């Protein structure tokens, strides 16, 4: 951090005249400034392909996080819009009732006027800001018939309820406006991140693009090897479990299987649902990633997993941040087809596990729904595995 200490000259100053030491320093500074002014500005060094790849990956990751924020805000906006519509409908209905009550009181006022009764009091009531206060002050209620009293009570009740609902509708409209502004901000944030990534890629030469493709190929190969390792580990663990179960059955007889019937039923139920979710997901392979999309022509990552499990009769929330909290978290070693795999510390990406270390997911803008290793970005970015049903 730069020091903020006051500068002190090394030379001395006599009657406003610089000493030679200070004069020399001043001349040196002038020379350096002159050289700097005349020198051509140095261009920033061009980033390496590895740096470009990391930067692009980071931007896509940031775009996905911004997309989930956009999805959450859009859901909130939709809910608030429904509430506003409901409140406005309620206000309209109550206003109609209030008008009916006012008309009935008006008819009483007209009748009182024709008979010479206290019509001015009733007419003034219709214009009063607070009818109840007006009644208290004028004691009009003492001069009304039972039927008129009922009409007045209805009028007071409807006016109070209508005023309350109008205030609620006004507040909800303000909240909706604020949320819509946040939605617009989230959308612009996604677009900025994607534009920056596209700009970086557009500046690459053909040779650099080929090198970038080679880097991506190596990453995929490494991810596929890791997926194969997981599949082998799970196969070995499954074989060992089957051998242990067979040994137990031989030792204890049929009674040894009684404790596993409930678990088998649960597994079968989950497998049936997972098969439906996976069947749906496979039919979406090849469709484009579009941020904020929930199908049927395009998807983002959480839109795809939501649609897949909905096909199996399971309703998942819209965003990765909410989907991760639905169901049971399981260790990576125990992952099963149909499970949801979440990525990054901010839980901004999700895929649907299909087995053998692979998943179906909507990867990123510019890509298509595809089957890919869950280690596509390395094991370190896997956040958690959740069994949603």
- Active-site positions? 301, 349, 361
Q: Give me 161's structure tokens.
A: 């309820």
- Does residue 340 come out as left (phi exceeding 0), alpha (psi in the -120 to 50 range) or beta? beta
Residue by residue, what is the 3-state secondary structure of 307-366?
HHHHHCCCCCCCCHHHHCCCCEEECHHHCCCCCEEEECCCCCEEEEEEECCEEEECCCCC
Terminal CA-CA length for the chain:
54
Secondary structure letter of residue 44 according to DSSP: P
Q: Work out the angle between the directed axes of helices 301-311 and 261-284 (0-180°, nearest 10).
A: 120
For residue 165, what are the contacts with CB-CB under 8 A and spacing of at least 6?
87, 90, 91, 94
3-state secondary structure of 291: coil
The residue assigned the tokens 């009644």 is 135
Q: Report angle CA 280, 285, 288 to the nearest 5 degrees.
A: 120
Q: Report angle CA 226, 243, 389 to the nearest 5 degrees.
A: 60
For residue 281, what are the contacts with CB-CB under 8 A and spacing of at least 6?
304, 308, 352, 354, 360, 369
Q: Residue 359 in contact with residue 353, Cβ under 8 Å?
A: yes
Radius of gyration of the chain (CA): 36
Q: Residue 327 in contact with residue 335, Cβ under 8 Å?
A: no
Q: Tell me the C-alpha distance between 205 and 207, whole Å.
A: 5
Burial 215-252 (b: 16+ CB within 10 A, else e): eeeebeeebbebbeebeeebeeeeeeeeeeeeeeeeee
Residue ranges of alpha helices (H) inside 206-300 are 206-252, 261-284
């Amino acid at each position: 951090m730069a020091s903020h200490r006051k500068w002190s000259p090394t030379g001395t100053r006599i009657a406003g005249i610089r000493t030679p030491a200070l004069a020399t320093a001043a001349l040196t500074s002038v020379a350096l400034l002159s050289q700097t002014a005349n020198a051509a500005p140095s261009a920033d060094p061009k980033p390496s392909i590895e740096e470009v790849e990391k930067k692009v990956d980071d931007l896509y990751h940031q775009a996905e996080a911004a997309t989930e924020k956009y999805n959450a805000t859009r859901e909130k906006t939709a809910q608030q819009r429904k509430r506003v519509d409901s409140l406005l409908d309620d206000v309209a209905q109550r206003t109609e009732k209030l008008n009916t009550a006012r008309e009935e009181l008006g008819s009483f006022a007209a009748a009182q006027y024709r008979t010479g009764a206290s019509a001015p009091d009733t007419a003034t009531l219709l214009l009063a800001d607070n009818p109840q206060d007006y009644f208290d002050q004028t004691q009009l209620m003492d001069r009304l018939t039972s039927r008129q009293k009922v009409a007045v009570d209805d009028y007071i009740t409807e006016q109070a309820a209508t005023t309350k609902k109008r205030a609620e509708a006004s507040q909800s409209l303000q909240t909706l406006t604020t949320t819509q502004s946040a939605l617009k901000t989230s959308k612009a944030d996604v677009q900025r991140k994607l534009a920056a990534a596209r700009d970086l890629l557009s500046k690459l030469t053909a040779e650099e693009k080929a090198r970038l493709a080679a880097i991506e190929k190596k990453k995929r190969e490494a991810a596929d090897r890791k997926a194969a390792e997981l599949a082998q580990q799970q196969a070995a663990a499954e074989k060992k479990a089957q051998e242990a179960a067979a040994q137990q059955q031989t030792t204890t007889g049929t009674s040894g299987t009684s404790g596993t019937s409930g678990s088998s039923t649960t597994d079968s139920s989950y497998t049936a649902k997972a098969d439906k979710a996976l069947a749906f997901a496979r039919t979406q392979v090849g469709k484009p990633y579009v941020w904020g999309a929930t199908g049927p022509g395009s998807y983002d990552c959480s839109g795809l997993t939501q649609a897949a499990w909905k096909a199996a009769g399971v309703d998942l929330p819209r965003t990765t941040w909410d989907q991760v909290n639905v169901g049971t978290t399981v260790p990576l070693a125990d992952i099963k087809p149909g499970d949801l795999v979440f990525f990054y510390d901010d839980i901004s990406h999700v895929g649907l596990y299909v087995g053998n270390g692979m998943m179906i997911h909507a990867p990123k803008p510019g890509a298509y729904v595809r089957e890919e290793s869950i280690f596509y970005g390395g094991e370190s970015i896997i956040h958690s595995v959740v069994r949603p049903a």
